[in-house]
Structure 1
């Protein structure tokens, strides 16, 4: 993946499901060995906010906020955030990050950036 974390921006409509799939590559461009790794995707109210839990947090354990699907063979991590969780975002921009082995020695922030959300007027 070269220099980490990768900067990426994304957006969603509040109250809808959001999905993204990240393919993880090493410095040579080959698939990263992610067997046995633990992943976490978090959206926080602000970049200085370190409260726990974050505004939105998804892991491989499915919750009302969503879940992650890890494919170690393809070296991909799919993040699914539920409509319930995106509704919490309302309209605005908040920082997000995809972590590998968060809270463990060698934790790595893989992807980070702004997560934009907006409301859509009902018909």
Structure 2
């Protein structure tokens, strides 16, 4: 992907499911080789926060907060956050990042930006 990390902002209602898909391409526009890569999506209170437990953290292993689905043929990653995860955010704007090979020497921030959440009207 040229010019990494991609800058992107998103918004959701707190307590709603949220999903976004990302196509990972090399500089020449071909699908990135992502076989065997690890992925992690995090939302933190601030960009300088480095605590082991961010507000939201999902990987390819499903948890109560969500999961990442990776298709190595099409080089896509879909991030899904559960209502439980977005409810933790309440109202506000926080930094997020989608990482490839987090914590490894070759770790790469693929996408970063602001994750905006707002309260939803009750039913």
Provide TM-score, normalisation by structure 1: 0.98
SS in 2 for 1:25: coil
Aligned position for 2:38: 38
1:87-102 matches, within 5 Å, as: 87-102=87-102
**Equivalent residue, structure 2, for 1:77:** 77
Deviation at 1:105, TM superposition (A): 1.2
CA distance in structure 2 between the aligned counterparts of 1:38 and 1:53, rounded to whole angstroms: 18
Aligned length: 123
TM superposition outliers: structure 1 runs of 4+ over 3 Å: none
In structure 2, what is the equivalent of residue 29 of structure 1?
29
TM-score, normalised with respect to structure 2: 0.98
Cα-to-partner distance string for 1:78-121 (whole Å, 9 max, x where unaligned): 00000000000000000000000000111000000000000022
Gaps of 5+ in 1: none
Aligned partner of 1:118 in structure 2 is 118
Deviations 1:33-75 (A, max 9, x none): 0000000000001111111111000000000000000000010
Residue 26 of structure 2 is aligned to residue 16 of structure 1: no
